[in-house]
Amino acid sequence: MYYIIPLALSFVTLLALPVHAGIQNTKHNLSVSGPGTVKADQESRLCIFCHTPHHASVTQGILWNREDSTATYIPYDSPTLTAVVGQPTGASKLCLSCHDGTVALGALLSEAAEVGFVGGVRFLPAGPGLIGSDLSDDHPVSFDYDGNLAATNPDLVDPVALTGDVRLDGFGQLQCTSCHDPHEEGFGKFLVASTVGSELCRTCHDHSDWTTSVHATSLATWNGTLPDPWPGSDLTTVADNACANCHRPHAAGSTAWILNYGFEEDNCLVCHNGQVAATDIAADITTPFNHPVAAETDVHEPNEDAGLPMTSHVECTDCHNPHAATETAAIAPFASGALRGATGIDAAGQPVANVTFQYEVCFKCHGEFSMTTPPVNRQLAQVDKRLQFEFPGPSFHPVVALGNNNDVPSLLPPYTESSYIYCTDCHASDTGPGAGGSGPAGPHGSMYDHILERRYNLLDGIGYTPVQYQMCFKCHSQTSLLNDDSFDEHDKHIRGEDAPCSVCHDPHGISSTQGNSVNNSHLINFDLSVVSADPGTGRLEFIDLGNKHGRCYLTCHGERHNPEEY
């Protein structure tokens, strides 16, 4: 570890300090006997490159033998940073006198002339050891790590617990030497603890759901197909790489959250491309209809308020919390483990920090702040899906609550009038398990518009074939519908008039603020591109007259219903 020694410490006392036998065989041995390529061409003294018993720095302790760097550093910052990070201080500033590349390696206070290095090298060459003066892509250092900081950020361990190898300096600051011991190479890269399972990271970082999350427990390995998801790592499983699956403490690809890659989705898709994870989500998001996670960058923030309007965007982490997600299955309407720890909007329109139901994730974007345009010109137009599924409402598919209709003879097993369904029972990959395939589950992408799992025709008059309504026939029996079990003229409308289901039915539902149980039961909400008001009466309405009994006032396909009763 790093030792703070008073300036007046005698050379005899210095010699009495613990002997760091390990430094001789490390890259920090810059003497002529050093094992690395960066080393002196003649100087044989080992410790002199950092310490001297005479002519030491008057501003630093530990008999420091180097000039302070005069560089002005760009410190790390991010929208979620709760610590105050400024210019490097203490041990970190000493480390940077070599590692920022501004002070010659051989420029020592004790020597009249600069010590020469092999090949005429004066500064650290480009590589992992050269950090530079831009620290915005490095783990922050030189900040006060106290109880107040830990209380502000619950994902940080209280500093009183840091009694092991990871220590703060004498001023309670986290420094380079909290993670690195410049004299010992026991864990590689002079680290003070193992990186297996991110033991070192987890000494300070304690995400509440991490230990049971899939990224902490998965034994999945890379199949060898490029790109390598863990370049530079000798660890071979997701669990062993842990934090390093996404984060890099130095020379990170992003300046916020020190991610491996600057483009957010690359941090996910380098594993979720079928080369580590079992299914290929990377392929799904290249399908014609997808959640456009590649459309924006540097817009999403982990602490964004789901209850406030924000710049339109969707990223993997809008739906998934990588520190909490699991592979736990669930039944509708409850959220599966894949959504654990995600934020959302509940059925009442209020933000929730950790969703309980799957639809709460969907309502973040497809609720009040929906940017989508309805694909059908409805009599009662509504983009807020939360309102369309609200209970009590005239009618809705049972996503938030059980449906109002207690007699739906067309339902296929295992569905009954007491069943809930997920948004993802309809909106999902066309190659996923719901479609009978082996692709990824979830609404990542599909060959069908609106990210539908199966074909759902919205066009009038194209001729009936069962394939056009595969989405409906996933839950509803084609035979039952064409036999008029639910409505005695279903077959006439579907096959006789070539009318799509969407002409009469709105599959999400009808808001109680717009419709009512008399005119909008059975998901009735007419498509105005096909249906218009009766010219004689000006009426455009359906009237529910009881079970399987109703009356319509409208014009459709040139035929007046004034009224038509069923």
Query: Which pLDDT tens digit goes with each residue over 205-242?
Result: 999 899 999 999 999 999 999 999 999 899 999 999 99
Peptide bond between residue 563 and the one before it cis (omega within 30 degrees of 0) = yes
Q: Are strands 559-565 and 550-556 parallel, antiparallel or unpaired?
A: antiparallel
Q: Mean pLDDT score of the chain, rounded to an integer?
A: 93
Eight-state DSSP code of residue 112: S
pLDDT of residue 309: 86
Residue whose C-alpha is closest to residue 405's, from 415, 395, 392: 395
Peptide bond between residue 227 and the one before it cis (omega within 30 degrees of 0) = yes
Residue whose C-alpha is closest to residue 361's, from 391, 395, 323, 316: 316
pLDDT of residue 486: 93
Considering the entire predicted model, what is its pTM? 0.90
**6-10, 293-297, 336-340: range with lowest mean pLDDT:** 6-10
Q: What is the mean pLDDT of residues 499-521?
A: 96
Res. 423: pLDDT tops 90: yes
Band (pLDDT 50/70/90 cuts) for residue 186 is confident
Residue pointed to by tokens 């427990």: 217
Band (pLDDT 50/70/90 cuts) for residue 297 is confident
pLDDT of residue 76: 97
Res. 249: pLDDT tops 90: yes
pLDDT of residue 21: 55
Q: What is the mean pLDDT of residues 37-60?
A: 93
Classified as helix, coil or strand, 454 is coil
Write phi, then psi, for 11 (nearest 5 degrees).
-65, -35
Res. 13: pLDDT tops 50: no
pLDDT of residue 310: 85
Classified as helix, coil or strand, 425 is helix
Classified as helix, coil or strand, 344 is strand
Phi-psi region of 51 (alpha: psi -120 to 50; beta: other; left: phi over 0): beta
Band (pLDDT 50/70/90 cuts) for residue 373 is confident
pLDDT of residue 308: 87
**14-18, 247-251, 479-483: range with lowest mean pLDDT:** 14-18
In angstroms, rounded to a whole number, what is the distance separating the alpha carbons of residues 203 and 170? 18
Res. 53: pLDDT tops 70: yes
> DSSP strand E in 41-120: where?
none
**Hey, where are the domains in the chain?**
1-187, 207-278
Q: What is the mean pLDDT of residues 444-471?
A: 96
Q: Are strands 509-510 and 344-345 parallel, antiparallel or unpaired?
A: unpaired
DSSP string, 220-286: -B--SPSSPSSTT----BHHHHGGGGTB-SSS-SSSSTTBS-SSHHHHHHTTTBTTSSSSBHHHHTT
Residues 6+ apart with CB under 8 A from 490: 481, 482, 484
pLDDT of residue 350: 96
pLDDT of residue 7: 37
* Side chain identity, residue 566: Y
Residues 6+ apart with CB under 8 A from 142: 85, 86, 87, 88, 89, 90, 92, 93, 173, 174, 175
Number of Cβ within a 10 Å radius of residue 182: 19
In angstroms, rounded to a whole number, what is the distance separating the alpha carbons of residues 550 and 530? 20
Res. 262: pLDDT tops 50: yes
Classified as helix, coil or strand, 111 is coil
**Rg (Cα) of the chain, in Å, rounded?**
32
Which helix H or strand E contains 554, and what residues bound it? Answer: strand 550-556
Q: pLDDT tens, 113-159?
A: 999 999 999 999 999 999 999 999 999 999 999 999 999 999 999 99
The residue ranking higher by pLDDT, 172 or 307, is 172
